[in-house]
Structure 1
Amino acid sequence: MKHVTGATPLSMLNAVALDTETTGLDPKKARIVQIGAVRISNGKVTPSDCMEKLVDPGEPIPAQSTAFHGITNAMVRLARPFPEVWRDTQDFIGARLVVGYAIGFDLAVLERECVRSGQRWVRPRTLCIRLLAQLANPSLPDYSLDIIAAWLDVSIVGRHTALGDAEATAEIFIALVPKLEAVGIRTVGEAERATLRQTGQGTNSDAARKAGWAAPVIDGGEIELQRTFSQFDPYAYQHRVGDMMSKPPVVVDGSLPLRDLVTLMTDRRISSVFIHPQA
């Protein structure tokens, strides 16, 4: 599947709606206990095309968090750790854009989990339905998931479960598309630019940043640049040749037959040599 571009119409978008449940609301400390996601294909939600995974957070789940999402310590005792579940999640997302509600929180927690467990973090391209709803209808009394869903006549089944909220997010996004088109936002790029203008002006965005949330949307070109560089192993660019080669360096005559050169390198367990025509 091709990567999403700024010219991709929102009505034809291939995306993944994603939600996490955590041990708390501080992204600097919260651990993930559940990840849920559902795919949006060509602008349509397929509820059966989904994933939901419990995650072992490696620490007790506070009682107040269990009261919120219903996930207990017993439920995650046999769950897999974050690195394993995250690999499955990345495979599920693939090259798709990620849609979320207040996605800046999820991104911050996911990035911190990756850093904590030594996983490489590559930020996906994202859109936030909370911010898109503000663009589509600036007069709503507030922008909770429940209020937005009620405005768009979207039912939420399984509230405060990762998959239930992800499915609601997907359905809300689909319902938002014609509302956004009515205010001149038709493509991914237009949605990103409008959101960036909005987050640059809002006090809510300032509060989210101070709370440690990630930016809900960043420029699509920057995302593609990060994606490109993430495909390269940076090790060789962070070290000098002398740091990586055996010492002293092995210098061979340029006339040495290739077969003998391979034998030499194999015997000495080295990956490179210097070749000198008169060694």
Structure 2
Amino acid sequence: MRPRRSALYLPGANERALEKAKTLPADALILDLEDAVAPDAKPAARDRVRTAVTSGDYGAHEVTIRVNAAGTPWHADDLRAVAEARPAAVVVPKVGSPAEVHAIEDALPEPIAIWAMIETPAAVLRCAEIAAASDRLTVLVLGTNDLVNELRAGQVPGRAPLLGALSTCVLAARATGKAILDGVYNDVRDPDGFADECRQGRAFGFDGKTLIHPGQLAPCNEIFAPSAEDVAHANRVIEAFDTAMSEGRGVATVDGRMIENLHVDNARRVLALAAAVSNASPNPS
């Protein structure tokens, strides 16, 4: 299990941001060649990102590159740079079909993984097909800003217009065994709203969240990691169930609630994630 509580976007044209990211407590870094880079700056950003990835200076961070979408003038050159840099994964915007996943597969050598961005109504409706298209597709990433725009919906607290899409994509991820990351929160001056949205995403079942500012890292990491109470409860569940099984009983009770196999499986997942966070995070928080 690899923790992906936080995935921070970094503009590929900003050398200072790329340098600072080496010490940030993000589980994953997305070095961005798409939205964060002006058209005339894209070639230089591509070279800068390729150099950054091949430097080996990012330690335990899971380093990825977001390319420009298929059909843009920069897509093919971006993929060639990714093939040379060999990041952990390529982040592909506006994936809409399994065929687009296969095209990325054909363009990039193994073991570069694929993170597919789900950003359109059509992609949401085909999310399970997209997720199942390849074993190299390991993560789904929600592009909630683009999705809100295409739905002609409003950016409102609680994200009511998006709830159906969020749930559909989490279902697709769980049905196909993929990780899934929630979209960004735009207002970096609203820490309470950001924390609320992180808690909502965790309640929906997301593994983590994509971020646009380093100041969002600490609360995101905390919310998407098992708490001390979660770990203690998981240990009690496993201990109680093991005792029940040794006594010939198929169920147990913890804190007044019945415990069976599915609760034990979840408890083991919580403990595995807690251990992964402790062991793998470059700066645990």
User: Given the two structures, how large is their TM-score scaled by the length of structure 2?
Assistant: 0.24
Bigger helix fraction: 2
Indicate the structure (1 or 2) with the bigger Cα radius of gyration.
Answer: 1
Higher relative contact order (CA 8 A, sep 6+): 1
User: Given the two structures, how large is their TM-score scaled by the length of structure 1?
Assistant: 0.25
